[in-house]
């Protein structure tokens, strides 16, 4: 029997077991097998991490912008050196294909931490205003204190970086709670960070959400919360944080529309609505998945054919194999949830293709959590598969006739994270940019973000952005001269 690697939390610059000595199993979703063990952190571990972060805060926040930037550039260099290892480890942990994970966790994270380093001065810069002949007004930007960062399982390292890099740039210290379904790559990163950042500046505590996570968001030592995950979890955190009035940033779920007009580049639109949206290397387990594909009726038959042709070329299999283009569902629980929607969809709408799941999809890996690309067709937006976030490789096509109808269908959702518009009509583009209920809109492209741009949603998709200025608060002063 192969001995499992046991990982440790990072608390106060030290690698520690959970205070209880207990572990959680890390399961490879492509095989269903346990491949490592991670700490089952609880309240005592969170208390220690928050205490370490609070102890480190005065010295870290007192550094000059250039001094903090130097540390962040050292972190960026880690991803240049270890990006391949971290990407492959994350692939084993969450099933996202290696040819996506390695670039994200190598050059992608190097760029993100370098960008954060370049913004340390912005986070420390206030304003000066002349209020009169003998009065001067000024503002100071100051860090909050200790930031709690709750990160999801579909992109652990990039989500940690999006939160921690900018929070640290602003002078805060951080306690990270990774998702229990995929903590291994984050804990390995913690081993590397222990040798780069001052003790306590960034801490990592793995454990169940109901234990470590809930204790963290209720902790009176936390000054702000940033969380990416489901809308249900976001609401639970907001209720938990109400007693301490802790401000929060939430990037939550979505049911994003991809709106394809008859005048669009149909080849580009078909690819944008599938392989870059919902039939992805992460099996559609992305918050911005354009899982509602709105198609103008004159091109409906052609688009269905184009989408089917693309889906037939998707290769499911070992996510470490460069030939694989789509990986497994993250866990048994999520697999069961997606399969439940397949069954619901078959009753609510017309199955265009797909629907198979389990061992028959990838016979060589029968223990994995496999769901093949699946497409439904619905004449309206009312079915559950049109209204609820599935978080799997499942999409539904909804026909429309007019611009007004497309806009009404697109906005008929409790979510408002992202939307895609495919058209050559510039006037239409401007109207939809204005009228779509969405925090992010892509035109003739999909799921292409820029680290320099804010990213967040509205309605049940959350509020706020993981940007450097959101990790500062302004203090005003008036000085009589």
pLDDT score at 454: 87
**pLDDT tens digits, 372-408:** 999 999 999 999 999 999 999 999 999 999 999 999 9
Total residues found in the chain within this entry: 481
**Domain at 5-252+461-478, CATH from 3.40.605.10, 3.40.1050.10, 2.102.10.10, 3.60.15.10:** 3.40.605.10
In angstroms, the CA 163 to CA 172 distance is: 11
How much is the pTM? Answer: 0.95
Residues 425-447, buried b or exposed e (16+ Cβ, 10 A)?
Answer: eeebbeebeeebbbbbbbbeebb
Sign of torsion, CA 455 147 227 103? positive
Least confident segment among 252-256, 441-445, 452-456? 452-456
> Residue 409: pLDDT band by 50, 70, 90 thresholds?
very high
Task: Give the whole-angstrom CA distance, residue 167 versus residue 226.
Answer: 10
Give the mean pLDDT of 117-144.
95
The CATH class of 257-454 is alpha beta
| Residue 1: pLDDT over 70 | no
Cα separation, 180 vs 166, in Å, equals: 24
Query: What does the pLDDT average to over 4-24?
Result: 97
Give 451's pLDDT tier (boundaries 50, 70, 90): confident
Separation in Å, CA 466 to CA 124, 134, 303, 385, 417? 17, 39, 36, 30, 14
Percent residues over pLDDT 90 in the chain: 95
Q: Which residues are catalytic?
A: 251
The Cβ-side half-sphere exposure at 396, using a 13 Å CA radius, reads: 29
Tell me what the mean pLDDT of segment 417-431 comes to: 97
Percent of the chain with pLDDT over 70: 100
The answer to whether the CB of 249 falls within 8 A of the CB of 464 is yes
Do 450 and 104 contact (CB within 8 A), yes or no?
no
Q: Which of 250, 198, 197, 243 has the alpha carbon at shortest distance from 222?
A: 243
Domain residue extents for the chain: 5-252+461-478, 257-454
- Mean of pLDDT over the chain: 96
Residue 453 has pLDDT above 90, yes or no: no
Going from the C-alpha of 236 to that of each of 1, 79, 214, 285, 400, the distances in angstroms are: 41, 33, 9, 21, 36
Contact 105/92 with Cβ under 8 angstroms?
no
CA-based nearest residue to 154, from 123, 117, 185, 132: 185
Task: Assign residue 8 a region (left: φ > 0; alpha: ψ between -120 and 50; beta: otherwise).
Answer: beta
- Retrieve residue 323's tokens: 């030939």
CB-count exposure of residue 418 (10 Å: 0-12, 13-18, 19+): buried
Put residue 439 in one of left, alpha, beta given phi > 0 → left and psi -120 to 50 → alpha.
Answer: alpha
Q: Tell me if 316 sits within 8 A of 370, measured CB to CB.
A: yes
3-state DSSP percent of the chain in helix, strand and coil, to 5: 40, 25, 35
Q: What is the mean pLDDT of residues 296-325?
A: 97
Which runs of consecutive H residues, i.e. helices, occur in 313-444? Answer: 332-348, 384-387, 403-411, 426-435
For residue 316, give the 3-state DSSP assignment. Answer: strand
- Average of per-residue pLDDT across 120-133: 94
User: What is the structure's pLDDT at 2?
Assistant: 65
List, in sequence order, every residue forming a beta bridge with 440; answer none if it has no partner.
418
How far apart, in Å, do the first and last CA atoms of the chain sit?
77
Please name which of 199, 298, 276, 256 lies closest in space to residue 409, comparing C-alpha atoms: 256
Joined together, the tokens standing for residue 381 give 């937006």
CA 116 to chain centre: 18
**Whole-angstrom distance, CA of residue 92 vs CA of residue 235:** 30
104 band by pLDDT with thresholds 50, 70 and 90: confident
């Amino acid at each position: 029997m192969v001995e499992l690697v046991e990982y440790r939390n990072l608390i106060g610059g030290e690698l520690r077991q959970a205070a209880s000595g207990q572990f959680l199993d890390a399961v490879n979703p492509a095989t269903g097998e346990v491949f490592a063990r991670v700490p089952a952190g609880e309240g005592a571990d969170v208390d220690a991490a928050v205490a370490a972060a609070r102890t480190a805060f005065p010295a870290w926040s007192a550094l000059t912008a250039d001094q903090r930037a130097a540390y962040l550039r050292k972190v960026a260099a880690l991803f240049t050196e270890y990006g391949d290892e971290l990407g492959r480890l994350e692939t084993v942990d969450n099933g996202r294909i290696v040819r996506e994970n390695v670039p994200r966790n190598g050059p992608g994270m190097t760029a993100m931490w370098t960008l954060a380093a370049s913004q340390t001065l912005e986070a420390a810069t206030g304003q000066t205003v002349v209020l009169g002949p003998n009065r001067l007004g000024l503002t100071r930007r100051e860090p909050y204190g200790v930031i709690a960062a709750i990160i999801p399982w579909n992109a652990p390292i990039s989500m940690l970086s999006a939160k921690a890099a900018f929070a640290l740039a602003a002078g805060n210290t951080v306690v990270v709670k990774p998702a229990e379904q995929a903590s291994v790559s984050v804990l390995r990163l913690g081993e590397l960070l222990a040798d780069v950042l001052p003790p306590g500046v960034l801490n990592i505590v793995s454990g169940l959400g109901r234990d470590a996570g809930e204790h963290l968001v209720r902790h009176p030592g936390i000054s702000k919360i940033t969380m990416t995950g489901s809308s249900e979890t976001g609401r639970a955190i907001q209720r938990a944080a109400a007693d301490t009035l802790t401000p929060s940033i939430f990037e939550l779920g979505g049911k994003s529309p991809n709106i394809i007009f008859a005048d669009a580049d149909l080849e580009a639109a078909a690819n944008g609505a599938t392989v870059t949206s919902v039939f992805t290397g992460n099996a559609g387990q992305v918050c911005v998945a354009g899982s509602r594909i709105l198609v103008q009726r004159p091109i409906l038959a052609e688009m269905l054919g184009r989408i089917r042709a693309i889906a037939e070329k998707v290769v499911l299999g070992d996510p470490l194999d460069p030939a694989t283009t789509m990986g497994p569902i993250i866990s048994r629980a999520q697999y069961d949830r997606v399969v439940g929607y397949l069954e619901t969809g078959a009753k609510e709408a017309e199955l265009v293709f797909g629907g198979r799941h389990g061992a028959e999809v990838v016979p060589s890996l029968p223990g994995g959590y496999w769901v093949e690309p699946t497409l439904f067709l619905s004449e309206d937006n009312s079915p559950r598969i049109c209204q609820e976030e599935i978080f799997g490789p499942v999409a539904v096509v909804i026909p429309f006739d007019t611009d007004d109808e497309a806009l009404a269908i697109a906005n008929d959702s409790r979510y408002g994270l992202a939307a895609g518009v495919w058209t050559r009509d510039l006037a239409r583009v401007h109207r939809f940019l204005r009228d779509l209920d969405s925090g992010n809109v892509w035109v003739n492209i999909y799921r292409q973000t820029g680290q320099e741009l804010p990213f967040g949603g509205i309605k049940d998709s959350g509020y706020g952005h993981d940007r450097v200025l959101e990790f500062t608060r302004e203090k005003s002063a008036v000085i009589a001269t």
